[in-house]
């Protein structure tokens, strides 16, 4: 005869027979309080990933940097590094194709300069400088590219990219600069042609790239394109012929324009604008 299963459905330890040898059921602990959790490793603020270091140096994007690292183009303190996620200190000697990199992130800020600000980082006479106008833009130390007179308005670029600054300020690269000039009287056609042909100033000859009257404006408003960076050069060209420049505004600089940038305001350059500047030969 089959034995009846009177304990069916009961948990171990709930049987009716006396002396049941099964141990009472105990729920397994989900954690052991005696086991210490491994401490969370804090990141070192003095270290950054190698791909970010390369990107900050203006070589390429982080994703592209990973490709160059894997290909063996990057060395740290004399040793080629191909490891992804490798971290470096800012004091390390990091080289890309043998050239040492600067880890400071490159920044580019365009200002539409108003009057009564001088283009310098500081002034012992207490005059207002262009640095005040971009003080909220970044914590990095940026420098103006070239100069604008105190009373000259218009486009002024700031950056910490030394190589680009040298390129944009050297006359051999022919960086395009266009000024809207206001004179105290109408410019004669003869004087316009004379400027166009070139003038001999006290510090040497000077030629403009182009000069023209502005369509629909009085003859005392002139458009001048020039690549020279000599001090007060646009003003001195007209003063040489007996004109006074009452207003001078730089409207184009190296392909950058004042579009959607009100006077006294600044903006960061777009990635494409930076690429265009670096392509200038």
Can you tell me the distance from the alpha carbon of 125 to that of 16, in angstroms, rounded to the nearest whole number?
A: 102
Query: Whose CA is closest to 223, among 267, 181, 174?
Result: 181
Query: What SS3 class is residue 246?
Result: strand
- pLDDT of residue 54 exceeding 70: yes
Average pLDDT for 234-251:
97
Q: What pLDDT score does 22 carry?
A: 53
pLDDT exceeds cutoff 90 at 229: no
Task: Output the six-digit token pair for 174.
Answer: 């022919």
How many helices (H) and strands (E) in the chain? 6, 17
Q: Which of 4-18, 59-73, 209-223 has the lowest mean pLDDT?
A: 4-18
Taking residue 240's Cβ as centre, other Cβ atoms within 10 Å add up to: 16
pLDDT in tens, 7-30: 454 454 454 444 444 555 555 545
Looking at residue 28, its pLDDT comes to: 53
How much is the pLDDT for 33?
Answer: 53
Which position among 149, 161, 163, 249 bears the catalytic label? 149
List the structure tokens of 279.
Answer: 């392509």
Instruction: For residues 39-52, give the mean pLDDT.
Output: 74
Token code pair at residue 205: 């000859």
Q: Indicate the DSSP class of residue 230.
A: -
Residue 23 confidence (pLDDT): 54
Active site residue 149: yes
| pLDDT of residue 259 exceeding 60 | yes
Helix (H, G, I), strand (E, B) or coil at 107: coil
Coil, strand or helix at 21: coil
The residues, any chain, with a CB within 8 Å of residue 39's CB and separated by 6 or more, are none
Each residue of 145-193: pLDDT tens digit?
999 999 999 999 999 988 899 999 887 787 989 999 999 999 999 999 9
Q: So what's the pLDDT on residue 273?
A: 94
CA torsion sign for 93, 167, 148, 114 is: negative
pLDDT above 90 coverage of the chain, percent: 61
- Classify each residue of 70-90 as buried b or exposed e, where b means 16 or more C-beta atoms within 10 Å of its C-beta: eeebbbbeeeebeeeeebbee
The residue with tokens 């299963």 is 5
- Length, in residues, of the chain: 281
Write down all domains in the chain, each with its CATH number in brackets: 47-100 (3.10.290.10), 108-171+257-278 (3.30.70.580), 176-253 (3.30.2350.10)
- Give me the chain's average pLDDT, please: 86
Residue 94's DSSP bridge partners are 76
Tokens in use for 277?
A: 């500047």
> Residue 183 carries which DSSP code?
E
Residues 6 or more apart whose CB falls under 8 angstroms from that of 134 comprise 109, 111, 142, 158, 266
Backbone angles phi, psi at 274, to 5 degrees: -65, -45
24 token code pair: 């009472």
Residue 71, pLDDT above cutoff 80:
yes
**CA distances, 137 to each of 102, 113, 116 (Å):** 21, 15, 20
């Amino acid at each position: 005869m089959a034995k009846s299963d009177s304990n069916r459905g009961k948990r171990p330890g709930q049987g009716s027979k006396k002396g049941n040898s099964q141990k009472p059921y105990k729920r397994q602990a989900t954690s052991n309080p005696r086991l210490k959790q491994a401490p969370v490793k804090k990141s070192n603020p003095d270290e950054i990933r190698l791909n970010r270091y390369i990107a900050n140096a203006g070589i390429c994007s982080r994703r592209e940097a990973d490709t160059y690292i894997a290909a063996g183009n990057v060395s740290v303190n004399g040793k080629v590094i191909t490891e992804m996620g490798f971290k470096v200190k800012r004091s390390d000697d990091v080289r890309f194709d043998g050239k040492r990199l600067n880890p400071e992130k490159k920044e580019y800020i365009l200002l539409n300069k108003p009057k009564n600000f001088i283009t310098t980082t500081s002034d012992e006479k207490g005059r207002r400088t262009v640095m005040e106008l971009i003080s909220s833009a970044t914590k990095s130390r940026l420098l103006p590219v070239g100069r604008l007179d105190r009373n000259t308005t218009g486009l002024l670029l700031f950056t910490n990219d030394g190589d680009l600054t040298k390129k944009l300020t050297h006359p051999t690269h022919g960086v395009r600069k266009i000024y809207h000039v206001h004179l105290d009287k109408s410019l004669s056609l003869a004087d316009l042609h004379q400027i166009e042909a070139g003038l001999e100033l006290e510090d040497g000859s000077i030629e403009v790239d182009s000069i023209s009257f502005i369509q629909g404006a009085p003859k005392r408003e002139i458009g001048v394109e020039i690549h020279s960076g000599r001090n007060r050069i646009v003003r001195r060209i007209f003063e040489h012929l007996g004109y006074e420049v009452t207003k001078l505004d730089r409207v184009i600089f190296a392909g950058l324009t004042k579009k959607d940038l009100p006077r006294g305001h600044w903006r960061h350059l777009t990635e494409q604008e930076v690429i265009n500047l670096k392509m200038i030969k």
